[in-house]
């Protein structure tokens, strides 16, 4: 059975404005809502959100793959915090030149590193970070990314699960890095 509407109302509000308004209202009720945008704040109408919630708005520039990793890393950091594990999320937006100073600083500060990338780990961010750590600050490293497999085509949520690129996968890697750090410290005693 099909029911026809007697009255259909339209709005002069653009879709992106309606999207941002709904996002703002939801964010006021749920502090877990944040945005990671790929330099699309203006075109997506997200400037009001960024203004109202600057600590929950991250612009990763024109790099969609990194945006996925940053979103996953930020979610993972929140999940780890609930378990009493402090994590720092760094936007390592370029591999060449790699920011060696940043990697060394946080390797010494934390004693373990996890990289997350939305592509192959071989020859990617994880490999570049591994080289810096091997030369200057050897600490446990866990790499989250595609493990030397051919890619597939499909919905993003399927691909993120299929290649183990989700926030829970990053959490698992972080716990593994922390465990290796603890084992290393114990072995030195």
DSSP string, 108-169: HHHS-EEEEEEEESTTSHHHHHHHHHHHH----EEEEEE-S-----S-HHHHHHHTT-SHHH
Q: 98 and 167 share a domain?
A: yes
Q: Which of 59, 61, 32, 68 is nearest to 170 (CA)?
A: 68
pLDDT digits (tens, 9 = 90+) for 165-187: 899 999 999 999 999 998 887 77
pLDDT in tens, 78-89: 899 999 999 988
Q: Number of structural domains, the chain?
A: 2
Angle at 27 between CA 114 and CA 21, to 5 degrees: 125
pLDDT value at 66 more than 80: no
For residue 74, pLDDT over 70 is answered with yes
In this structure, are 49 and 123 located in the same domain? no
For residue 67, the model assigns a pLDDT of 58
- The domain boundary, picked from 43, 59, 75, lies at 59
Whether 183 and 101 map to the same domain: the answer is: yes
Q: Is the CA virtual torsion 88, 93, 95, 98 positive or negative?
A: negative
Does 85 lie in the same domain as 40? no
**Alpha carbon separation from 97 to 15, 47, 74, 159, 161 (Å, rounded):** 39, 31, 24, 29, 30
Residues 173 and 82 in one domain: yes
Least confident piece of the model among 56-70, 144-158, 159-173: 56-70
Whether 91 contacts 66, CB under 8 Å: yes
Range of the domain at 71: 64-188
Same domain, 130 and 55: no
- Please, which residues have CB within 8 angstroms of residue 121's CB and are 6 or more apart in sequence? 115, 127, 143, 144, 145, 146, 147, 148
Residues 51, 72, single domain; the answer is no
> How far, in Å, CA of 108 to CA of 101, rounded?
11
**Average confidence score pLDDT of the chain:** 84
Q: Which residues contact 184 (CB under 8 A, 6 or more apart)?
A: 140
Domain containing residue 99: CATH number: 3.40.50.920
* Digit-coded pLDDT (tens) for 130-139: 999 999 999 9
Is pLDDT at 20 greater than 90 in this prediction? no
pTM over 0.85: no
Same domain? 71 vs 143: yes
What are the DSSP E strand ranges found in 48-103?
57-59
Statement: residue 90 has pLDDT above 90: no
């Amino acid at each position: 059975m099909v029911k026809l509407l007697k009255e259909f109302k339209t709005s002069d509000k653009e879709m992106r404005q309606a999207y941002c308004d709904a996002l703002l209202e939801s964010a006021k009720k749920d502090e877990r809502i944040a945005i990671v945008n790929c330099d699309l704040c203006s075109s997506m109408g997200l400037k009001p959100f960024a203004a109202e919630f600057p600590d929950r708005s991250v612009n990763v520039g024109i790099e969609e793959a990194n945006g996925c990793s940053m979103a996953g890393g930020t979610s993972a950091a929140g999940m780890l915090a609930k378990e009493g594990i402090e994590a720092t999320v760094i936007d390592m937006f370029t591999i060449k030149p790699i920011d060696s100073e940043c990697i060394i600083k946080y390797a010494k500060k934390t004693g373990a590193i996890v990289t997350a990338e939305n592509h192959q780990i071989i020859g990617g961010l994880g490999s570049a970070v591994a080289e810096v750590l091997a030369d200057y600050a050897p600490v446990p490293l866990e790499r989250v990314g595609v493990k030397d497999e051919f890619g597939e085509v499909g919905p993003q949520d399927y691909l993120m699960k299929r290649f183990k690129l989700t926030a829970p996968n990053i959490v698992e890697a972080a716990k593994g890095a922390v465990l290796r750090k603890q084992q290393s410290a114990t072995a030195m005693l």
